[in-house]
Amino acid sequence: MPWLYLHFQHLLLDHIARAREASAPLAVLCQGSRCVLQACPRAMARGVQPGTALKTALNLAPELVMVHADDNRQARILEQQAHWLYRYMDRITLYPPDGLLADAGSVRRLYGGLQPLREALQKALGERQLHATLTTGTTPLAARLLARAGADCFTEGTEVMATNLATLPLAATELEQRTLQRLTRLGLTTLGELQQLPAAELARRLAPETLVHIQRILGQRPDPQTSWQPPHEFRQRADFGLPVEKAQGLLFALQRILADLESDLQWRQQDTDSLLLILHHYRQEPSHLQVRTTGPEHRAEAFLNLLRIRLEQHPLQAPVETLELRVTRFLHRHTATSTDLLGETRDTGEAWHTLVSRLQARLGEQALKHLAPAADHRPERAWSACSLARQQREPMPEHLPLRPLWLLSQPAPLQVAPEEWLSGPERISGGWWDGERVLRDYYIARLPAGQLAWIYRHNQQGWFVHGWFG
Amino acid sequence: MSDLLNSLLDDARLWRGHRQLATEPTPEHTGFATLDKELGGLGWPRGALSECLLDGPGIGELQLVLPLLQRMTKRQQCVFWVNPPFTPYAPALARADVDLGQVVLVRTENQPDLLWTLENCLRSQATGLVLAWPDSLAARDIRRLQLAAEAGQSTCILFRSRQEACQSSPAALRLELVPDDRLGLKVNILKRRGGWPGQGCRLAMAARVQQDVTEASTVIHGPWPDHQSG
Segment B154-181, tens digit of pLDDT: 889 999 998 888 888 888 888 998 888 7
| Rg of chain A taking only CA atoms, in angstroms | 35
- Which of B101, B121, B183 is nearest residue A452 as measured by Cβ atoms? B183
Choose from B109, B162, B209 for mutation: most chain A CBs within 10 A. B209
Pairwise CA distance, residues A391 & A286, whole Å = 33
A85 and A214 in a single domain? The answer is yes
Cβ A135 vs Cβ A150: under 8 Å: no
* A46 lies in some domain: no
- Among B38-42, B137-141, B157-161, B222-226, the minimum mean pLDDT is found in B222-226
Is residue B216 pLDDT above 50, yes or no? Answer: no
* A240 lies in some domain: yes
Q: Residues 350..409 of A with a Cβ closer than 8 Å to B: which?
A: 351-352, 354-356, 358-359, 362-363, 367-374, 379, 382-385, 388, 391, 393, 396-397, 400-409
Dihedral sign of CA atoms A40, A41, A47, A52 in order: positive
Which residues in chain A have their CB less than 8 angstroms from residue B96's CB? 405
CA distance B37 to chain A (A): 23
Find the residue in A nearest to B211 (Cα): A422
Domain stop point among A316, A332, A348: A332
Pairwise CA distance, residues A447 & A419, whole Å = 5
Beta-carbon separation of A402 and B209 below 8 A: yes
Cβ A418 vs Cβ A445: under 8 Å: yes
Domain stop point among A218, A252, A276: A218
Which residues in chain B have their CB less than 8 angstroms from residue A355's CB? 78, 120-121, 124, 126-127
A78 and A201 in a single domain? The answer is yes
A161 and A302 in a single domain? The answer is no
Which residues in chain B have their CB less than 8 angstroms from residue A448's CB? none
Is residue B217 pLDDT above 60, yes or no? Answer: no
pLDDT by position in tens, chain A (length 470): 788 899 988 888 888 888 777 677 888 888 777 788 888 888 888 888 888 888 888 888 888 888 888 888 888 888 888 888 888 888 899 888 788 999 888 888 888 888 888 899 999 899 888 888 888 888 888 888 888 888 778 887 888 888 888 888 888 888 888 888 888 888 888 888 888 888 888 888 888 888 888 888 888 888 888 888 888 888 888 888 788 888 888 888 888 899 989 988 888 888 888 889 999 888 888 888 888 877 778 888 888 988 888 888 888 888 888 889 999 888 887 655 555 555 545 566 777 888 888 888 888 888 888 888 888 888 888 888 888 765 556 666 667 788 889 999 888 888 888 888 888 788 888 888 888 888 888 998 888 888 889 999 887 788 999 999 88
Neighbours of A440 (CB within 10 A): 21
Beta-carbon separation of B216 and A423 below 8 A: no
A86 interface with B at CB cutoff 8 Å: no
Domain stop point among A218, A242, A271: A218
Q: What is the mean pLDDT of residues B26-37?
A: 81
A309 and A428 in a single domain? The answer is no
> Residue A449's domain spans which residues?
402-468
- According to the model, what pLDDT value does residue A128 have? 84
Confidence of residue B80 (pLDDT cuts 50, 70, 90): very high
A301 and A326 in a single domain? The answer is yes
Which residues in chain B have their CB less than 8 angstroms from residue A385's CB? 105
Cβ B212 vs Cβ A422: under 8 Å: no
Confidence of residue B81 (pLDDT cuts 50, 70, 90): very high
Confidence of residue B226 (pLDDT cuts 50, 70, 90): low
Q: In what order do the strands lie in the sheet with A99-103?
A: A92-95, A99-103, A3-8, A132-137
Find the residue in B nearest to A377 (Cα): B91
Query: What does the mean pLDDT of chain A come to?
Result: 84
For domain B25-229, the CATH superfamily is P-loop containing nucleotide triphosphate hydrolases (3.40.50.300)
Find the residue in A nearest to B78 (Cα): A352
Which residues in chain A have their CB less than 8 angstroms from residue B151's CB? none
Pairwise CA distance, residues B198 & B174, whole Å = 11
Beta-carbon separation of B59 and A450 below 8 A: yes
Which residues in chain B have their CB less than 8 angstroms from residue A409's CB? 86-87
Choose from A370, A371, A428 for mutation: most chain B CBs within 10 A. A371
* A179 lies in some domain: yes
* A452 lies in some domain: yes
Question: Residue A425 carries which side chain, given as an amino acid letter?
Answer: P
A207 and A81 in a single domain? The answer is yes
Share of chain B above pLDDT 90, in %: 12
Which residues in chain A have their CB less than 8 angstroms from residue B60's CB? 452, 469-470
Name the domain count of chain A: 3
E strand spans, A41-80: 65-68
Closest among B149, B131, B136, B141 to B84, alpha carbons compared: B131
- Residues forming a β-bridge with A454: A444, A467
Query: What does the mean pLDDT of chain B come to?
Result: 82
Which residues in chain A have their CB less than 8 angstroms from residue B78's CB? 348, 352, 355
Q: What is the ipTM of this complex?
A: 0.80
Q: Residues 251..280 of A with a Cβ closer than 8 Å to B: which?
A: none
A152 and A15 in a single domain? The answer is yes
Beta-carbon separation of A400 and B95 below 8 A: yes
* A394 lies in some domain: no
- pTM of the prediction? 0.66
The SS3 of residue A99 is: strand
Closest among A212, A172, A222 to A192, alpha carbons compared: A172
Q: What is the CATH number of the domain that holds A282?
A: 3.30.1490.100
Beta-carbon separation of A363 and B113 below 8 A: yes
Q: How many contacts, defined by CB atoms under 8 Å, are there between A and B?
A: 193
**Peptide bond preceding A224 in cis form (omega within 30 of 0):** no
DSSP state of A442: E
A197 — alpha (psi -120 to 50), left (phi > 0) or beta? beta
Is residue B1 pLDDT above 80, yes or no? Answer: no
Is residue B229 pLDDT above 50, yes or no? Answer: no
Pairwise CA distance, residues B125 & B47, whole Å = 11
Find the residue in B nearest to A453 (Cα): B58
CA distance B92 to chain A (A): 5
Q: How many CA atoms lie within 13 A of A30 on its CB side?
A: 12
Beta-carbon separation of B181 and A450 below 8 A: yes
Q: What is the mean pLDDT of residues B127-154?
A: 87
Choose from A339, A355, A377 for mutation: most chain B CBs within 10 A. A355
Spell out the long-range contacts of A430-435 with Cβ–Cβ below 8 A and sequence spacing 24 or more. A430/A376, A430/A377, A430/A378, A431/A378, A431/A381
Cβ A331 vs Cβ A272: under 8 Å: yes
- Which of B22, B88, B120 is nearest residue A371 as measured by Cβ atoms? B88
Q: A282 Cβ partners below 8 Å, 6+ apart?
A: A243, A318, A319, A321
Pairwise CA distance, residues B18 & B43, whole Å = 30
Is residue B218 pLDDT above 60, yes or no? Answer: no
